[in-house]
Chain A
Amino acid sequence: MDLETEQSDVVVDINKLSLIFETSDGPIHALSDIDLSIKSGEFVSLIGPSGCGKTTLLRVLADLEKHSSGGITVNGMSPDQARQQNAYGYVFQAPALYPWRTVKKNVVLPLEVLGYSKEQQNELASQYLDLVNLTGFENKYPWQLSGGMQQRVSIARALSVEPQLLYMDEPFGALDEITRDHLNEQLLGLWEKTGKTVVFVTHSIPEAVFLSTRIVVMSPRPGKIIDVIDSHLPLDRTLDIRESPEFLEIAHQVREGLKAGHSYDDD
């Protein structure tokens, strides 16, 4: 691909990154020798069993966790600088909405923190609530919404500051499969429309294959990358593609990768 030749397109660059947690039971190697570079517009999924460090890696990217050694840049800056410039939006495992704020007030929270004017707040809130199909729910409180709607609010909140980079940490992990399928389709459409770079953590193989342009397979103890699988499914895919041979072939590769990681673990 010609994208690969252009250095300026690299959004996230990770070089020999390691993270060691010091605990009372001795050091834990959460991440070990991670090498990964993500280009603009890519949809990269990190997949692996629990404890493989995929969430930790995302938190390091977001400067919510500090790495122990190695190099990492986000937009050419350190994660700390990138965070201070609000280079990314972060969607957590849970919606993490503030229960005392209405839907709209939750969406404008980052805008309030960054000092946007009231008009800009209103405009961006309605724009991104519309994008996640929640127009008309502005004045509802989080407890009045279903889990899937709450997570959509949190996606609108992450998008409202219009970051070029979106970090999503198992955003649909707590939802039922029907809702999850539906949201996967919506997210795919949203990614196509906005052209954002997405780093997506999941432990679901179909979800990773359906959404991603690249799938990073990780294994635990120590958390490391086992395999990186490219995916070239057509952009205008629907959920039906999950029965196509191409899809099944990629899913098979991911499963083989996960298996390899697991056999290592059993030694």
Chain B
Amino acid sequence: MMTTRAPSLLYKSNVLPVVTIVFAIIVSWYLGAIYLNSPQLIDRYQKRGVDWSFSQLAQDSWSMERAVLPAPHQIALELKKTILDKKITSKRSLVYHAGVTLSSTLLGFLLGTFIGVSLAVGIVYIITLDRSLMPWIIASQTIPILALAPMVVVVLGAMGITGLLPKSLISMYLCFFPITVGMVKGLRSPDPMHLDLMRTYHASKAQIFWKLRLPAAVPFLFASLKVAIALSIVGAIVAELPTGGQGGLGSRLLSGSYYGQTNLIWAALISAALLSATLVTTVGYFQKVACRRLRGGQVFSQ
């Protein structure tokens, strides 16, 4: 009986599916590395006039200095080198650069949340804003952030504002949108009967907001915050491209591509992904706490 228990546990938890997918990705990555790096290598073999076997080709394509696609273990090594072996304060430490990106991400996220919620409240309560603002808000998101980011950085730089703020503003620009949309939907989500109930009590607008609309909007808010924090990190990294000198994962991506250091690019990319996953998970944790406090632990999805 003991033998049947172990696999069932494995199936119930998400360990097995995750491990399977990771394994599949790694295998196809190694194969992809051979496929993408082999033309260069074969070229080199032919120039030197050496005989080569497939195993030789595989080995060489997994250990190139500047591979088109570095192998996973090379990236892991690069990560170890730049995360564990360097001092955190060093300009070559990815932890340092992740910290730079994180600070502008979080500031942008806070600004975006504040602006997003304020806009949503305005839109829900003021008809004029509802009619006039929403088209602009939607239009703002159709502008490619890649085109806008350098302009914002350059214009603010000319005004003497540099450092954290311009980058945070770009994060904010990306992440306020889902928050506004989610909050508008959330603030409008109460049932007509719930609103009628407040009317029978002759409740004021402020009371309806604090006791009904806001609590009803919380699940919508958290769903939006999860999207927003991921966008916020994208905004911070994009903003770091034109301000390369100031550090951040974006600047590492840029210098990696200048010097053809693909290992560095991939290491920075993976750091960004890990950072993003950590932030989304953190928001998810706060969501759980809030929901437990809000509805006595009832599972609800939105």
Contacts and interface: CB of A to CB of B under 8 A. Distances in A.
Interface of A: 62-64, 83-84, 86, 88-90, 92-94, 96, 98-100, 102, 109-110, 112-114, 140-141, 143-144, 161
B196 to A, nearest CB: 6
B196 A113 contact: no
A92 B200 CA distance: 11
B212 interface: yes
B203 interface: yes
B194 interface: yes
Contacts of B294: 100
Task: Place the interface of chain B in its size category.
Answer: 20 to 34
B142 interface: no
Contact of B298 (A62, A93, A98, A99): A99
A143 B298 CA distance: 8
Contacts of B99: none
A89 B199 CA distance: 11
A64 B191 CA distance: 15
Given A98-B215, A100-B215, A113 B201 contact: yes
A89 B215 CA distance: 24
B295 interface: yes
Contacts of A109: 197, 201, 211
Contacts, number: 58
A90 B200 CA distance: 7
Interface in B195-236: 196-203, 207, 211-212, 215-216, 218
A82 to B, nearest CB: 10
Main secondary structure of the interface of B (DSSP, over half): helix
Given A84-B202, A100-B215, A141 B296 contact: yes
B193 interface: yes
B200 A62 contact: yes
Contact of B200 (A64, A94, A99, A141): A64
Contact of A83 (B193, B200, B212, B215): B200
Nearest to B297: A141
Contacts of A143: 295, 298
A140 B297 CA distance: 11
A45 B149 CA distance: 67
5 residue pairs, one from A and one from B, having the closest CB atoms: A141-B296, A96-B193, A113-B201, A100-B294, A90-B200
B211 A94 contact: no
A98 B212 contact: yes
B296 A64 contact: no
Contacts of B212: 98
A96 B296 contact: no
Contacts of A89: 200
Contacts of B203: 113
A112 B211 contact: yes
Contacts of B191: 96
B145 to A, nearest CB: 36
B207 A113 contact: yes
Nearest to B298: A143
Contacts of A92: 193, 196-197
> Which of B196, B201, B215, B295 lies at the interface centre, i.e. has the most chain A CB atoms within 10 A of its CB?
B201
